[in-house]
Amino acid sequence: MLRIVVRVSGVPAVVLGSGEKLLVGRAPAAGLPDEDPDAALRYTALTLPRCAAHVSRVVGELTVADELVRLRWLGGTGAQLSSLFDAPGGARRVTLAKGMSALLDEGENQLQVLRGRELDDGSFTDLSVMIEVTVTEDVTDVPEVAAGRVEHDVAATGTAPGLTPGEREWFVALALTEPWLSGSDDYPRPPSNREIYERILAWHGYAWNLERSQRVDDAIRVIATVAFGRHEDPFRDPRGRRVQNVRFALGRRAAEVGLVTAEDLDRVERAAAQRRRSRG
C-alpha cells in the first residue's frame, strides 16, 4: 500500500492512501465532479494558503493508486517538480506545464508553484508543496492519529501544539524519548543517530531517509522547537545560554510535555510485533 503526506506551510498536513485523490489550488473544491455523489469520499481538496490571484482554482490533481502516485498538472501557472532524495539515479527536476503528468518517486518530492504565493508588499514568490511517498505493508504499520493533534508550520506560528503521529519527526521524538517512556531514565546517554534510525526501522518498517545522520539532526531541531517553544529552543536561544546535553534535555522535555507518550511507544511496538508475526 502507498501512504502519501502532503505538507504546505501554514496548513495542516494531508494524509492520503491508495485509491484517493487530492485536488490542489486556489479554490480546489470547484474541481469536484458534481455528477458523482461519492466524490467527497474519494477526493480531498487542499487550498493553498496566501495563494496569488493569478493561480488557477485547481492547479493539480494527485492520484494515488496501489503501486504508483501520479501528479497531473491542470493549471496555467508553471511549476517544477523535484525528487529530492530517493529518485533512481539521484535527484531529478521536471518542469510542469498544463496537461502534463508525472509519476512521483518514493521518498520526498517537492513541488514549486512558480510565483504562486503573494507577499505582503504585493510581490510574488514560489509556493512550496512537499509530497512524501511511503510504501507500507499494512495499515497497522501507522499509529492512529490522535484527535486534535495536527501539524502546523513552526516558522509561521513560533510554536506548535504537537507533532503529527506517524510522521518522521514524531518517530524520531519517540526513539529519542524511549528511555524516559519505558522507565529507563537512568539510561547513560540519549540514543545516537544510528540507534534512532534502527529503532524507527524496526518499529515502522520504513525509516524515510534517516540513515543519513544529518536528516536525524534536522528532525531533532524541529522537535526542539515544538517541545520548548521558539523562545526557549536550546538550539536558537537568543540569550546565548548553553545546554551541556541538548539531546538529554530534549528527551526529558518531550516526555514531560507529552509530545510522545508511553501509550504511543506501546502502540508502535505492538504494531511491529504484529508485522513480524505476519511475516512468519
Closest CA to 28 of 2, 4, 62: 62
Q: Residue 2: its pLDDT value, please?
A: 84
Q: Is 81 left (phi over 0), alpha (psi -120 to 50) or beta?
A: beta
Q: How far apart are CA 120 and CA 85, in angstroms?
A: 33
Question: CA triplet 185, 182, 235: central angle to 5 degrees?
Answer: 55
Q: Residue 155: its pLDDT value, please?
A: 37
Q: Residue 277: its pLDDT value, please?
A: 85
User: How large is the C-alpha radius of gyration of the chain?
Assistant: 20
Domain boundaries, the chain: 2-135, 154-279
Q: Residue 230: its pLDDT value, please?
A: 64
Q: Is the pTM of this model over 0.85?
A: no
Q: Residue 44: its pLDDT value, please?
A: 85
Q: Residue 231: its pLDDT value, please?
A: 64
Q: Residue 243: its pLDDT value, please?
A: 47
The tens digit of pLDDT for each residue in 191-218 reads 899 999 999 999 988 888 888 888 898 8
Half-sphere exposure of 24 (CA within 13 A, CB side): 30
Residue with cell string 482554482: 57
Are 166 and 203 spatial neighbours (Cβ–Cβ below 8 Å)? no
Helix (H, G, I), strand (E, B) or coil at 55: coil
CATH, range 2-135: 2.60.200.20
Q: How far apart are CA 197 and CA 240, in angstroms?
A: 30
Provide the Cα torsion 9, 100, 132, 193; round to 10°.
-100
Are 25 and 75 spatial neighbours (Cβ–Cβ below 8 Å)? yes
Half-sphere exposure of 85 (CA within 13 A, CB side): 16
Q: Residue 195: its pLDDT value, please?
A: 93
**Residues of the chain falling short of pLDDT 50:** 85-90, 138-161, 238-243
**CA distances to 104, 232, 239, 252 from 242, in Å:** 42, 11, 9, 17
Q: Residue 147: its pLDDT value, please?
A: 28
Q: Residue 278: its pLDDT value, please?
A: 81
